[in-house]
């Protein structure tokens, strides 16, 4: 218990602010919402930028790490496309809006990436040499790529459904 308390108390404030912001976003997705496609693309773009910047900052240009990340993205895209298949949407093509049902997927993915990055950060602060280990790197870039892929695949799947769906007036 002492370890947990010490770890939490040594965590920088910005990490807790980030967690609060991510929880806010994730909790909002539990309820149905009508959003623009541009707004729907924000989270996949953020995770892509976060993943790539983290990869290059932590590992530089590394063929093995890039391969792990790309493979994880491909798997994630497939899973995201599958997830999008079961989502019932309504679209307003005039206003470029999409009505989505609420769901737990976004919140779950946000919690997975936060927990993974937090755990890896704690491990790295306790034993800095661990970041040079293959398993650490593969976990870091693999989870990042996988989640980026899921968000991107889900967005692609929703875009396909948007294109095929009939127009509805969602102004009300």
3-class DSSP assignment, residue 156: helix
CA dist 4 → 59, 122, 131 (Å) = 28, 11, 21
Q: Where does the pLDDT of residue 172 fall: very low under 50, low under 70, confident under 90, or very high at 90 and above? A: low
Q: Are 118 and 15 in contact (CB under 8 A)?
A: yes
Torsion of CA 123, 128, 133, 138, to 10 degrees: 50
Kindly report, residue by residue over 90-110, the tens digit of the pLDDT: 999 999 999 999 999 999 999
| H helices present in 29-133, as ranges | 37-40, 42-59, 63-85, 105-126
pLDDT of 73 > 80? The answer is yes
Please tell me the predicted confidence (pLDDT) of residue 143: 93
Give 25-72 pLDDT, tens digit per residue. 999 999 999 999 889 898 889 888 888 887 788 777 788 888 999 999
Residues 111-153 pLDDT 10s: 998 999 899 999 999 999 998 899 999 999 999 999 999 999 9
pLDDT attached to residue 46 = 86
Instruction: Give the number of other CB atoms < 10 A from CB of residue 51.
Output: 24
Q: Token pair of 41, please?
A: 């693309």
What pLDDT shows up at residue 29? 93
């Amino acid at each position: 218990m002492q370890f947990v308390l010490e770890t939490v108390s040594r965590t920088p404030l910005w990490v807790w602010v980030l967690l609060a912001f991510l929880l806010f976003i994730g909790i909002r997705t539990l309820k149905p919402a009508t959003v623009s496609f541009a707004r729907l693309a924000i989270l996949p773009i953020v995770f892509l930028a976060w993943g790539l910047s983290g990869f290059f900052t932590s590992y530089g240009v590394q063929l093995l790490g890039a391969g792990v990340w790309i493979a994880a993205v491909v798997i994630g895209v497939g899973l995201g496309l599958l997830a999008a298949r079961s989502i019932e949407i309504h679209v307003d093509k005039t206003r470029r809006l999409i009505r989505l049902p609420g769901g737990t997927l976004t919140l779950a993915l946000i919690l997975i990436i936060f927990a993974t990055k937090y755990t890896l950060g704690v491990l790295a602060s306790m034993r800095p040499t661990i970041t040079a280990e293959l398993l650490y790197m593969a976990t870091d870039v693999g989870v990042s790529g996988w989640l980026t892929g899921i968000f991107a695949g889900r967005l692609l799947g929703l875009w396909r459904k948007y294109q095929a769906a009939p127009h509805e007036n969602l102004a009300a």
